[in-house]
C-alpha cells in the first residue's frame, strides 16, 4: 500500500535533506553537544527563515513557545534527537540553547557618594524609570512606598508564571529593587537605596529557586524596549548570569541587550561571581552573559569593609575578572560595593528562609525583619543602576555611551588591582553625577584629583584628556570600543597640547595617550592581557601597545581560567535536565551573606 503524505510534509522533508551540510553552522556549542544525545529534550530559541518552521517543529515532536521580536526568534522545546533535523533544514537560520540564568544601604550610599550628591543637588531619581529584570518584588514593602503610601512599583509583569499581582517567591528581586530605589522607611532613612524615588518596572524572569531561561530575559528586554516611553525607562538592571558559549556578536541574549542600548536605555549587568576557583585561587575569564557584551555596563563587586571610608575599600574575592570568553575583551567596566549589602527582605521567599540568620530589623516596629544582608555582583549592579538614575535626572540627554564614559572617568583607581579585576576603578557616584550635570549646565570643570580620568574603550586605555558632551563617541549608533566613526577617528573630548598651549581633539588619532592610529587596529591592545602578563599579579606596568594577546591562561596555578585550557570547554551544569549552575546566588565559599559589626 502506498503511503500518502501532505504537500507540506514533502516540502519540509525536501528542505531538510537539501541542507544537511549546514547543521554544524546552525547549532551553538551547547546544542551541538546535546544533539548527540538519543534521549531527553532541550529548550531552544529558533530563528526561522520561513513561517513553515512552526510546522517543522511540531512534526519532530517539539512544542512552541512565545516570540522574541528583538532577536527574530521563537521559543521551543524539542527532543534532542530532532536537533540535527532542525539544523539541517532550510527553514531554519539558527538554533540556540535557551540557557539557564540565575540571580547572580546605609554604608553603601555614603561610601560611593550617592548620599552626598542627593543632599547637595536634591537628586533622588524622580521621574526616571528603572526596569529590574529579576525574580519579582514584594511591592508592599514599606520601603517601596512613597509618603502617601501609594505603591512605587509602576508596573509588574511575570514572564514565569503569568501572575498579575506583584510577588517575589525567591527574594532576590526585592533585594535588588531596594538597592536601586528603596526609601529606607523602616530604618528611618538609613538603609535607603541609591535613587529612592525612581520609578520601578519589575519584570519577573527568575523562579522561586532563582533560576530561569534566557528566553524570559529576552522577552523582558523586548517589553522594556516596547514600553520605554510609557514608563520613561532609561535604565535596566540585570543581576542575572548565564553561561557564555559564543561571541557576543551572535549570542541572542547579548543581541537583545544591544537593541535596548541602541534605543537609549542603559543596560547594567552583574559581572558574575566566579573570581575564584574551587581551590580558592584567583582566576581570570569569568565574566558571565550578558556582561560580556561591550555595549553593556558590566559591574564587578568591591567591599566597603563595613565602613564609610573609601580608603579601606577592597575588591570582593568572588568578583569575576576579564577577559571575556571568545572575544577576549576587557571587562568589567567598573566595580561597586557588593559585600554585606543591606536591603529589603521578602517574607515567605526562598532567600528569606535560607538566610534567616542574616535578617535585620529596622528602627520602627514591623511584623517581620524588613532587611536582609546579601553579597554578590548581583548587589553591586543595582548600586550602579541607581547611580545612573541620578545621572539621568541631572542630565536626561545622556546616551548609554556617555553614561559609561562618565562612570569610568570619575571612578577611583586602586593600584593594587589590574583593569581585568577592577575595570576603570571603584564607583564614585558623587563624581559621576557632578560630571553628568556639568555636561548639561556647564560651569566650572568639576574634575577631582581622586578621579581616575581614564576610560577603557574596547581593549584600549585612554587617558590624559577631558570628556566633552558633543562628540561622536556618545552617539547611539556608535558601538563602545569601535576604532572608527563613519570612517574617521572616534572623538571623546579634548586634550591639552602643551607645545601649542591650546586644547586639541582627544581622539583615536592622538599621539600622547598611547592610542595612535597605528596601534588602533585592535590587534595590539594596550589594556588587557599582553604576552608578559603572567602569574597572579598581571602588573599594570607590564602592559603596553606592543604586547600581543596570545597568552595561554592557566599556565600556572595562580591564574587558572574558568573555561579551561584544553578541549573540555563544555560546563557540566548538573545531571539530566537539572540545570544547576556553578555560581548561583550563594557565590560558593567566598560569597556568603555578611552582617558587618556595628
Q: Are residues 226 and 135 located together in one domain of the fold?
A: yes
- Whether residue 131 sits in one domain with residue 198: yes
| pLDDT over threshold 70, residue 189 | yes
User: Do residues 223 and 285 both lie within one domain?
Assistant: yes
pLDDT, average across residues 96-108: 72
Question: Is the bond leading into 290 cis (omega within 30 degrees of zero)?
Answer: yes
- Please report whether residue 474 resides in a domain: yes
Enter the pTM of the model: 0.84
Of residues 6 and 250, the one with the higher pLDDT is 250
pLDDT in tens, 39-59: 899 999 999 988 999 999 999
Tell me what the pLDDT averaged over the chain comes to. Answer: 80
Please state the domain count of the chain. 3
H-run or E-run covering 343: strand 341-344
- For residues 114 and 70, membership in a common domain is answered with no
Tell me: do 15 and 162 sit in the same domain: no
Q: Is the pLDDT confidence value at 484 over 90?
A: no
Residue numbers annotated as active site: 134, 172, 378
- Asked whether residue 356 carries a pLDDT value surpassing 80, the answer given is yes
Same domain for 294 and 388? yes
Using CA atoms, how far residue 360 sits from 118, 372, 446, 481, in Å, is 25, 6, 38, 43
Pair (413, 492) in one structural domain: no
CATH number at residue 14: 3.30.70
Q: Are residues 315 and 336 in the same domain?
A: yes
Q: In the listed set 98, 113, 138, which residue is the last one of a domain according to the structure? A: 98
Element (H, E) at 26: helix 23-26
Any domain includes 437:
yes
Q: What is residue 110's predicted lDDT score, i.e. its pLDDT?
A: 66
Domain extent at residue 507:
460-519
- CA dist 239 and 269 (Å) reads 6
Q: What is the pLDDT of residues 153-175, one digit of tens each?
A: 999 999 999 999 999 999 999 99
* Strands in 221-265 per DSSP E: 233-238, 240-242
Domain end among 409, 428, 452: 452
Beta strands 314-315 and 359-360, pairing class: unpaired
Encode pLDDT of 284-307 as tens digits. Answer: 889 999 999 999 999 999 887 777
487-500 tens-digit pLDDT? 889 999 998 777 77
Quick one: average pLDDT of 110-134? 84
Read off the pLDDT of residues 465-476 as tens digits, 9 standing for 90 and up. Answer: 899 999 999 999
Q: Domain end: 44, 71, 98, which one?
A: 98
Residue 103 pLDDT class (50, 70, 90 cuts): low
pLDDT at 522 exceeding the cut of 50: no
Query: Quick one: pLDDT at residue 589?
Result: 39
Amino acid at each position: 500500500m502506498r503511503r500518502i503524505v501532505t504537500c507540506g510534509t514533502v516540502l519540509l522533508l525536501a528542505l531538510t535533506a537539501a541542507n544537511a551540510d549546514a547543521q554544524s553552522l546552525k547549532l551553538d556549542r551547547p546544542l551541538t553537544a546535546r544533539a548527540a544525545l538519543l534521549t531527553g529534550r532541550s529548550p531552544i530559541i529558533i530563528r526561522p527563515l520561513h513561517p513553515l518552521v512552526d510546522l517543522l517543529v511540531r512534526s519532530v515532536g517539539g512544542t512552541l513557545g512565545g516570540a522574541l521580536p528583538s532577536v527574530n526568534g521563537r521559543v521551543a522545546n524539542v527532543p534532542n534527537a530532532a536537533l540535527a533535523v532542525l539544523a539541517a533544514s532550510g527553514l531554519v537560520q539558527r538554533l540556540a540553547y535557551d540557557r539557564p540564568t540565575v540571580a547572580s544601604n546605609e554604608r553603601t550610599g555614603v561610601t560611593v557618594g550617592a548620599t552626598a550628591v542627593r543632599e547637595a543637588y536634591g537628586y533622588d531619581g524622580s521621574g526616571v524609570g528603572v526596569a529590574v529584570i529579576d525574580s519579582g518584588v514584594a511591592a508592599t514593602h514599606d520601603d517601596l512606598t512613597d509618603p502617601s503610601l501609594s505603591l512605587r512599583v509602576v508596573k509588574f509583569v511575570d514572564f514565569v508564571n503569568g501572575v498579575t499581582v506583584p510577588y517575589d517567591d525567591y527574594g532576590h528581586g526585592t533585594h535588588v529593587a531596594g538597592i536601586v530605589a528603596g526609601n529606607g522607611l523602616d530604618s528611618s532613612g538609613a538603609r535607603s537605596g541609591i535613587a529612592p524615588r525612581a520609578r520601578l518596572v519589575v519584570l519577573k524572569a527568575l523562579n522561586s529557586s532563582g533560576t530561569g531561561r534566557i528566553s524570559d530575559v529576552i522577552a523582558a528586554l523586548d517589553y522594556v524596549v516596547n514600553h520605554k516611553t510609557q514608563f520613561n525607562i532609561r535604565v535596566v538592571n540585570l543581576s542575572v548570569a548565564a553561561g557564555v558559549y559564543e561571541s557576543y556578536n551572535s549570542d541572542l541574549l547579548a543581541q537583545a541587550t544591544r537593541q535596548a542600548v541602541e534605543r537609549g536605555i542603559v543596560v547594567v549587568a552583574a559581572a558574575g561571581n566566579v573570581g575564584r576557583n574551587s581551590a580558592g585561587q584567583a582566576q581570570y575569564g569569568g565574566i558571565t552573559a550578558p556582561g560580556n557584551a561591550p555595549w553593556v555596563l558590566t559591574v564587578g563587586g568591591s567591599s566597603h569593609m563595613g565602613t564609610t571610608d573609601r580608603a579601606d575599600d577592597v575588591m570582593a574575592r568572588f568578583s569575576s575578572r576579564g577577559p571575556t570568553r571568545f572575544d577576549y575583551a576587557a571587562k568589567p567596566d567598573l566595580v561597586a560595593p557588593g559585600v554585606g549589602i543591606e536591603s529589603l527582605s521578602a517574607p515567605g521567599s526562598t532567600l528569606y528562609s535560607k538566610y534567616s540568620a542574616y535578617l535585620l530589623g529596622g528602627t520602627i516596629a514591623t511584623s517581620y525583619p524588613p532587611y536582609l544582608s546579601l553579597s554578590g555582583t548581583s548587589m553591586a549592579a543595582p548600586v550602579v543602576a541607581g547611580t545612573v538614575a541620578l545621572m539621568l535626572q541631572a542630565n536626561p540627554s545622556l546616551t548609554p555611551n556617555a553614561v559609561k564614559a562618565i562612570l569610568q572617568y570619575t571612578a577611583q583607581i586602586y593600584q593594587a588591582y589590574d583593569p581585568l579585576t577592577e575595570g576603570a576603578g571603584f564607583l564614585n557616584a558623587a563624581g559621576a553625577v557632578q560630571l553628568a550635570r556639568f555636561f548639561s549646565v556647564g560651569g566650572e570643570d568639576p574634575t577631582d584629583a581622586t578621579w581616575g580620568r581614564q576610560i577603557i574603550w574596547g581593549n584600549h586605555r585612554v587617558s590624559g584628556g577631558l570628556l566633552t558632551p558633543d562628540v561622536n563617541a556618545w552617539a547611539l549608533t556608535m558601538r563602545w570600543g569601535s576604532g572608527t566613526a563613519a570612517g574617521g577617528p572616534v572623538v571623546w573630548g579634548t586634550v591639552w597640547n602643551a607645545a601649542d598651549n591650546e586644547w586639541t581633539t582627544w581622539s583615536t588619532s592622538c599621539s600622547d595617550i598611547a592610542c595612535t592610529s597605528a596601534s588602533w587596529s585592535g590587534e595590539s591592545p594596550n589594556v588587557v592581557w599582553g604576552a608578559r602578563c603572567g602569574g597572579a599579579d598581571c602588573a599594570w606596568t607590564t602592559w603596553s601597545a606592543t604586547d600581543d594577546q596570545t597568552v595561554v591562561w592557566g599556565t600556572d596555578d595562580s591564574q587558572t581560567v574558568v573555561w579551561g585550557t584544553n578541549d573540555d570547554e563544555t560546563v557540566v551544569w548538573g545531571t539530566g535536565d537539572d540545570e544547576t549552575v556553578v555560581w548561583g546566588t550563594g557565590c560558593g565559599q567566598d560569597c556568603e551573606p555578611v552582617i558587618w559589626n556595628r
